[in-house]
Amino acid sequence: MGEERGWERRTVDERLASRAGVDLGGSLIKIAYFSPEGLQVQLFPATSLGETIAYLQARNLHHLVLTGGGSVRHRQAFDIFHVETVDEFTANIAGANYLREAEGQAGFPYVLVSIGTGTSVYRVTEAGGQRIAGTAVGGGTLLGLGRLLTGEMRYVDIVAQAATGDRSLVDVLVRDIYGRDIPGLPGDITASNFGKSLSPRKEDLARALLQMVGEVIATVACLAAQCHQIREVVYIGASLRENDILREVLDSSTRFLGKEPRFLRLGEFVGAVGALVQGLAR
């Protein structure tokens, strides 16, 4: 009996050590796997399939669970591995639940907001999850409009431009209309996104763009949460990576709308973590 239990333990350890969850997104490839030190994560540009494969091989990660939009499009590139796939919806739910528990945020129900190219909103309970809302406004909007407004081609450069921008030169604020705060509406609340133009610099345009995207996403998420009488809203996605401004807009807008915002430390890896967890459960 003792030998059999030991064999089972070794088998589980080996299975754990050889598996990885891989989220093949439109812009980034996210990897999650377990090492003796715990959960490990890694990012590559979506164009770096060769580098990604070399990374996995170097760590003897030969059993992959793929998710994301590229899990079908780039499936053939991973034929040298043993490959399973899991849909993005299932991976996001599983990954969010795992990371919330790991970060001390466990509890149901909550609304999960996945900010990718567009944005999907899920209701998550102990029994599972369902998509309840969404918007085509997301990271793709930031990239596409950001290129048009600033001339910058890379996402990180658009976000960097916004860091020194002044959105009050682009947006109409409540104080522009009333000259002060009014009951229920602080003066710095947006009355109209891009509603004025006082010779804005590209930095100002980038900052106003981040504001608009964050406000739209928070509004959709909070309305969905209100419909289902849920207080907690959890934001995830690679669009939040090194993007303090978007995070601050989501935080303040969500609180203004009466909901409790949450962010996961490894929020951009939720899909990869979920794929890994789902693969281990099979």
Kindly write down the DSSP assignment for every residue of 8-47, as one continuous string.
HHHHHHHHHHHEEEEEE-SSEEEEEEEETTEEEEEEEETT
Among residues 255, 250, 264, the alpha carbon closest in space to that of 105 is found at: 264
Catalytic member of 3, 14, 84, 88:
88
Q: Which residues contact 146 (CB under 8 A, 6 or more apart)?
A: 152, 155, 158, 206, 209
Looking only at the bridges linking them, the beta strands covering 82-85 and 63-67 are parallel
Question: Please, are residues 152 and 158 in contact by the beta-carbon 8 Å criterion?
Answer: yes
Active site residue 103: no
For the record, the structure tokens of 67 come out as 């998710």
Dihedral Cα 167, 173, 179, 182, nearest 10 deg: -140
Residues labelled as active-site residues? 88
